[in-house]
Amino acid sequence: MARIEPLPIEEWTEELQAALRTDSQAQVERDVSGIMARAPRSYRAFLSLGGAMAREGDLPPRLLELIRLRIAFFNQCRSCMAIRYESGVDDGVSEGLVCSLERPEEADDLTAAERTALNYAELMATDHLSIDEHTYAALREHFTEEQIVLLGMRVAVMVGFGRLAASWKVTDNLPDRFRADGTVTPWGSDTIVVH
Q: Report the phi/psi class of residue 92: left, alpha or beta, with left for phi > 0 and alpha for psi in -120 to 50.
A: left
pLDDT given at position 23: 63
Which parts of the chain are beta strand (E)? 83-85, 192-194
Examine residue 31 and state whether it is found in any structural domain, yes or no: no
Alpha-carbon distance values, 186 to 55, 74, 96, 102, 179 (Å): 27, 10, 11, 9, 12
Examine residue 45 and state whether it is found in any structural domain, yes or no: no
- Write the DSSP symbol of residue 5: P
Angle at 156 between CA 144 and CA 120, to 5 degrees: 55
Examine residue 172 and state whether it is found in any structural domain, yes or no: yes
Examine residue 44 and state whether it is found in any structural domain, yes or no: no
Which parts of 78-156 are beta strand (E)? 83-85
The SS3 call for residue 192 is strand
Q: Give the containing element (helix H, strand E) for 146.
A: helix 145-168
Give the predicted TM-score (pTM) of the model.
0.93
Examine residue 103 and state whether it is found in any structural domain, yes or no: yes
Examine residue 138 and state whether it is found in any structural domain, yes or no: yes
State the average pLDDT for the chain: 93
Q: Which residues contact 112 (CB under 8 A, 6 or more apart)?
A: 141, 142
User: pLDDT band at 54, cuts 50/70/90?
Assistant: confident
Number of structural domains found in the chain = 1
Residue 192: pLDDT above 80?
yes
pLDDT given at position 21: 73
Q: Are 177 and 188 in contact, with CB atoms under 8 Å apart? A: yes
Examine residue 71 and state whether it is found in any structural domain, yes or no: yes
Range of the domain at 130: 59-194
- CATH of residue 143: 1.20.1290.10
Examine residue 101 and state whether it is found in any structural domain, yes or no: yes
Q: Are 163 and 52 in contact, with CB atoms under 8 Å apart? A: no
